[in-house]
């Protein structure tokens, strides 16, 4: 029986990355077309009717977590999100003929965290069931908003078994995100720390070291990263197992990009795809640690200083999962770009006007794609997927502020107060209807 839950190697202190018995996995699901057919049947065939194959995470369980205890699985039908194709008029404007957005904001707590959280929370429940002497009583996390929301949602489903403690930086997350954690019953602690999330992250690690009965479900937890690997698998399945030329992804704590790299690497090894896509890593000017690392030739890693950004969910200067990225990046053609605040707001508003329900973090990835198109890295006919990490509603205050005060050139669209009569309405429209 294990004595405790480990997040890092007790010998070297390094982060874990889930390793599988690949021969065992291949014997179960096959390789190449056999593996593709295996997963297509789970998603689209009769096997979909068997719990929990209607989950975009757990249908891939034989690939990401083979032989995971079925009795511990928690599923809220997460995943299987839309692959949104941008409209033709926007394709022409930006010079990208084949751009799709993976809409992770459609999951239960409205973010991509609903990929990793069911795996991490299910594993906490598994430990509680199989090893009662460990005394597992709940889960905990630090969060810029989305992790706390997902942790609260999934722990609420089993609140008779697992409590939930979340630490958030005081006044540094949106009200809708804060509401989610509070409404779903988490114990919410707003931490007043000059380093924002990074300070919260340090504090929760110290706290869980003292209280091992609370399983840490940040991306330091390798089970959570394993769940997030399914985003890549689902994108590939959405494209009928054709690898995109490029995948763009916003980078905060780096759990999602490390999951993406590991999943794609294994997908190629299994013959699910023939080639690896290029990767566009996107960060804000306020938190550009990995951009600077790339600019140094992937040699010099220096966490920056905390600054506010509209893309608050990725305002992280010392990404916990960086060691995983460092281990995996050199298998890929990977480019990093940073975006300034005005660029983020403009891109966010621009793609929202095209029907894409995306968050400002997603706009950072899309803006990176626009930069990559401008410098010739991405070609007009390339098949490109950008990962949207959350719903716009979580960041409504920032969006409204932009539309009220922003410039028309930045796609701001303010409302107008009109008297409640027909003449006033006609006057406000200035005969523009049908013009």
Given this model, what pLDDT does residue 434 score? 61
Q: Kind and range of the H or E element at 156?
A: helix 146-157
| Preceding peptide of 52 cis, ω within 30° | yes
Predicted local confidence at residue 140, as pLDDT: 98
pLDDT on residue 306:
83
**pLDDT of res. 9:** 84
Contact 345, 312 (CB under 8 A): no
Under DSSP, the state recorded for 18 is -
C-alpha–C-alpha distance, residues 345 and 402, integer Å? 7
In degrees and rounded to multiples of 5, residue 169 shows phi and psi of: -70, 130
SS3 423: helix
* Domains, the chain: 83-108+225-410 (3.40.50.1100)
What Rg do the C-alpha atoms of the chain give, in angstroms?
22
Segments in the chain below pLDDT 50? none
Residue with tokens 């959570």: 224
Which letter, b or e, does each residue of 261-292 get, where b requires 16 or more Cβ atoms within 10 Å of its Cβ? Answer: bbbbebbbebbbbeebbbbbbbbbbbbbbbbb
**d(C-alpha 340, C-alpha 334), whole Å:** 20
Residue 301, Cβ density class (10 Å: 0-12 exposed, 13-18 middle, ≥19 buried): middle
Closest CA to 215 of 4, 388, 67, 396: 4
Report the alpha-carbon angle 41-44-49, nearest 5.
85
244: left (phi over 0), alpha (psi -120 to 50) or beta: beta
What's the pTM? 0.95
């Amino acid at each position: 029986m294990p004595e405790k839950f480990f997040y890092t190697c007790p010998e070297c202190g390094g982060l874990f990355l889930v390793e599988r018995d690949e021969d065992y996995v291949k014997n179960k699901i096959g390789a190449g077309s056999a593996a593709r057919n295996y997963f297509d049947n789970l998603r689209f065939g009769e096997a979909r009717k068997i719990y929990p194959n209607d989950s975009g995470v757990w249908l891939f369980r034989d690939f990401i977590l083979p032989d995971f205890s079925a009795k511990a699985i928690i599923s809220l039908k997460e995943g299987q999100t839309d692959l949104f194709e941008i409209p033709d008029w926007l394709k022409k404007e930006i010079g990208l003929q084949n751009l799709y957005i993976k809409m992770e904001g459609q999951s239960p707590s409205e973010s991509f965290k609903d990929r990793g959280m069911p795996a991490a929370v299910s594993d906490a429940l598994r430990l509680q069931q199989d090893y009662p002497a460990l005394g597992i009583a709940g889960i905990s996390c630090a969060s810029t908003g989305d992790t706390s929301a997902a942790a609260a949602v999934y722990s609420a489903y089993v609140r008779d078994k697992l409590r939930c403690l979340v630490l958030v930086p005081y006044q540094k997350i949106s009200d809708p995100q804060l509401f989610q954690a509070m409404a779903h019953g988490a114990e919410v602690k707003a931490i007043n720390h000059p380093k924002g999330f990074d300070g919260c992250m340090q504090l929760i690690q110290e706290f869980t070291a003292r209280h091992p009965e609370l399983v840490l479900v940040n991306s330091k937890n390798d089970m959570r990263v394993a769940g997030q690997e399914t985003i890549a698998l689902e994108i590939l399945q959405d494209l009928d197992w054709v690898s995109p030329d490029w995948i763009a992804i916003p980078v905060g704590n780096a759990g999602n990009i490390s999951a993406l790299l590991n999943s794609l690497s294994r997908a190629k090894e299994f013959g699910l795809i023939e080639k690896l896509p290029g990767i566009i890593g996107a960060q804000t000017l306020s938190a550009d640690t990995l951009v600077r690392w790339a600019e140094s030739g992937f040699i010099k890693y220096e966490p920056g200083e905390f600054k506010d950004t509209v893309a608050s969910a990725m305002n992280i200067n010392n990404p916990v999962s960086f060691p995983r990225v460092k281990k995996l990046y050199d298998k890929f053609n990977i480019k990093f770009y940073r975006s300034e605040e005005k660029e983020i707001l403009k891109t966010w508003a621009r793609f929202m006007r095209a029907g894409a329900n995306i968050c400002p973090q997603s706009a950072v990835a899309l803006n990176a794609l626009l930069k990559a198109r401008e410098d010739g890295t991405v070609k007009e006919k390339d098949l490109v997927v950008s990962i949207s990490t959350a719903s716009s509603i979580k960041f409504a205050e920032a969006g409204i502020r932009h539309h009220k005060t922003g410039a028309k050139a930045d796609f701001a669209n303010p409302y107008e107060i009109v008297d409640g009569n027909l003449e006033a309405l006609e006057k406000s429209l200035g005969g523009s209807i049908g013009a």
